[in-house]
Amino acid sequence: MSALNQNELAETVIQPAFILYGVPYVPHYVEKHRWVGPGGKYEAKTYTTTELIESGARLTTMNLWERSWTKEVKGWRIL
């Protein structure tokens, strides 16, 4: 068993994200179809996928740590 190297960067992959009024919303790590804006645990605004789409948010991609549920979001892989 090897020791965890704290200086090694975690691998990132292309993941879907939304932009709403210039603010990025990234996928929550475990809550499916929940998107998190900037801010701390208590200040960050969250939306569902449906809420973002209905609000006119633009779908895009970002390099993020992989979330297991984002494969369920349709259309982002063609971006």
Higher pLDDT, 34 or 75: 34
Average pLDDT over residues 45-65: 95
What pLDDT is recorded for position 53? Answer: 94
Mean pLDDT of the chain: 87
CB burial string 7-24: b at 16+ within 10 A, e below: eeeeeeeebbbbebeeee
Query: pTM of the predicted model, to two decimals?
Result: 0.80
Closest CA to 28 of 17, 19, 20: 17
What pLDDT is recorded for position 3? Answer: 61
